[in-house]
Amino acid sequence: MKKTVVLMMVMAVAAAGCQKDSREREAAVTMPVAEGVQKAGAKVQRQGQAAKPKEAASFKPFYIYETKGFRGNHYVPSGYMPNSNCMKMIEDWRENCHTGATCIKVVYDVECSRKDEKWAGVYWLNPANNWGTRKGGFNLTGAQRLTFWARGEKGGEQVQEFTVGGITGDYPDSDTAVIGPVILGTAWKKYTVDLRGKDLSYISGGFAWTTSEDVNPEDCTFYLDEIRFE
């Protein structure tokens, strides 16, 4: 009887030892695998982060007018509205410009306008004279604003709107943005058209101004310079 009890105790101890060895072996196998999976996962995560595309480069200034004859100028001031009867633009004006050798002088003949269409304006278009009847324009995605400098001849001259985009027709602009009315002083001042959130993927009407005889009791002469997207 005693031998039987002793034998049973020995077998129990042996079984416990086997179970322990089995658990240790299982842990020995399981732990490296888990660590390997974690390391592999971390590697994949790092690789994923490295694979993310770099942020797009900042938008480089895209000029409508820098100075007369500048090869980097874009768009053509060809969209006279409603006609050119009562206004003229001198693109190579050389007196008291803001930047560079030349600037733009705009002369709006109010007395003439009272006898004509009573308003005037000009669109800078691409290609010239393109009112949406043919393909053209530029993809300006990434631009945050259009900036320009302006001043009046006497002060008090009023431009009702400065516009980016807005051309309709068979090939319409993808969006439009407007500021105004703007009352000009005699000193140069920088103005900004906010383009954030605008679809600039197709813009054939790069820049425009409009005014009328209603808001200009006398002749309206003003100057523009350094017109650019940025």
* Tens-place pLDDT, residues 117-155: 999 999 999 999 999 999 999 999 999 999 999 999 999
pLDDT at 40 over 70: no
**pTM of the model as a whole:** 0.75
Q: Average pLDDT, whole number, for the chain?
A: 83
Edge-to-edge strands, sheet with 205-212:
76-81, 119-125, 205-212, 161-165, 176-179
Question: Could you tell me if 125 and 45 lie in one domain?
Answer: no
57 within a domain of the structure (yes/no): no
pLDDT at position 57 is: 59
Bridge partners, 122 (sequence order): 80, 209
User: Which residues form the domain of 10?
Assistant: 1-52
What span, in angstroms and rounded, lies between the C-alpha atoms of 192 and 207? Answer: 12
How much is the pLDDT for 21? Answer: 46
Over residues 57-113, the pLDDT tens digits come to: 589 999 999 999 999 999 999 999 999 999 999 999 999 999 999 999 999 999 999
Contacts with 109 (C-beta within 8 Å, 6 or more apart), sequence order: 86, 87, 219
Residues paired with 62 in a beta bridge: 229
Tens of pLDDT along 204-220?
Answer: 999 999 999 999 988 89
Same-domain pairing of 74 and 177:
yes
Measured at the CA of 128, the angle between CA 106 and CA 93, to 5 degrees, comes to 25
- Looking at the structure, tell me whether residues 136 and 218 fall in a common domain: yes
Residue 54 has pLDDT above 70, yes or no: no
